[in-house]
Amino acid sequence: MKRAALLLLTLVLATTVAAPSLATPDCKKDKDGICPMYYSPVICDHGKIYSNPCFARLDCAENCLPYFEPL
C-alpha cells in the first residue's frame, strides 16, 4: 500500500512539474499602459475582476467576460 501511494505521489509531482504553463508566453504586463476610466467590469479566467477590458489586457488576462454584480 505504501509503495502504491509513493508511486502515485511521484506521478502527480512529475506531471505537475512537466505541465506547460497556461499563461500566454507572448504577453508582457504593461505597467505604463493607459486605459480609459470608465466602469464596464469583466471577470477573467483566473477569477480576477477588472474595471474594464483595457485594464484586463494590460494585465495579460485571458477569456474575459462581462461581469454584472447581483443587486
Is residue 45 a part of any domain in this protein? yes
Is residue 56 a part of any domain in this protein? yes
Report the predicted TM-score, pTM, of the whole model to 2 decimal places: 0.59
CB within 8 A of 46, min separation 6: which ones?
Answer: 61
Is residue 20 a part of any domain in this protein? no
Per-residue pLDDT tens digits for 23-57? 456 888 888 999 999 999 999 999 999 999 999 99
Is residue 69 a part of any domain in this protein? yes
Count Cβ atoms below 10 Å from residue 50 Cβ, excluding itself: 20
| CA pair distance 52, 58, nearest whole angstrom | 11
Is residue 1 a part of any domain in this protein? no
Show the CA angle centred on residue 64, arms to residues 52 and 35, nearest 5°: 25
Is residue 6 a part of any domain in this protein? no
* Total count of domains within the chain: 1
